[in-house]
Amino acid sequence: MSLHHDHSTISADDRIAARVKAMEAILVEKGIIGTDAIDYMSSVYENEVGPQLGAKIVARAWVDPDFRQRLLVDATEACKEMGVSGMQGEEMIALEDTDTVHNMVVCTLCSCYPWPVLGLPPNWYKYPAYRARTARDPRGVMAEFGLELPESVEIRVWDSSAELRYWVLPQRPAGTEGWSEEQLAELVTRDSLIGVAGVASPKAA
């Protein structure tokens, strides 16, 4: 009896995950890194570093005009006010969405990304298809994420690099007057911080 595996049904994400697991097993076997260190780093990026921090920063900017202004002038220093800083976040710029301008972030060379605010980049952010298409057809890419904007809105694509990392300050949705920062932060997603999605209104959310 022969067994046939249809590799065409394995997603790119699954293949990457399998390679990561194999590399992890080799490093542990050779004693280069321990499983406790891996568990610790996984916990840090799951609970302490990630888009939930970016969401809190956005919520603060929505309710505090002075903080918002500091964020737009120097995102790196403003984030430090909320205890958010670290590797891959030394030089950051927050891009403000408006009624007439929508910002979108890509890294066309590799996958430069503001880790302290957004956590680790999603796999699709690193794919050549995203990097190439975002520069060529940003509206088409956003449409695949479910975001369609009127032609009157200008789309600005920003190319992050190792020296300078961008992220988006999305517009506050209507119907959130009087909301607390904690409530507002719940509406903000990683994708809205990259710019491939907007922030859903409370009714839609």
- 111 has catalytic annotation: yes
Both tokens of 27, joined, read: 């490093």
Q: What is the pLDDT of residue 159?
A: 96
Q: What is the pLDDT of residue 42?
A: 56
Q: What is the pLDDT of residue 5?
A: 35
For 73, the enclosing helix (H) or strand (E) is: helix 65-73
Q: Does residue 188 carry a pLDDT above 50?
A: yes
Domain spans, the chain: 7-46, 51-194
Q: Does residue 24 carry a pLDDT above 90?
A: no
Q: What is the pLDDT of residue 2?
A: 34
Q: Binding site: what residues are annotated? A: 107, 110-112
What superfamily does domain 51-194 belong to in CATH?
A: Nitrile hydratase alpha /Thiocyanate hydrolase gamma (3.90.330.10)
CB 125 within 8 A of CB 93: no
Distance of CA 26 to the CA centre of its chain: 29
Of 2, 8, 42, 111, the catalytic one is 111
Of 42, 43, 110, 161, the catalytic one is 110
pLDDT tens digits for range 100-135:
999 999 999 888 999 899 988 898 999 999 999 999
Which regions of the chain does DSSP assign to beta strands (E)? Answer: 92-96, 101-106, 154-159, 165-169
- Tell me what percent of the residues of the chain surpass a pLDDT of 70: 81
- 79 has catalytic annotation: no
- 110 has catalytic annotation: yes
Of 2, 8, 79, 107, the catalytic one is 107
- 112 has catalytic annotation: yes
Range with the poorest average pLDDT among 26-35, 147-156, 174-183: 26-35
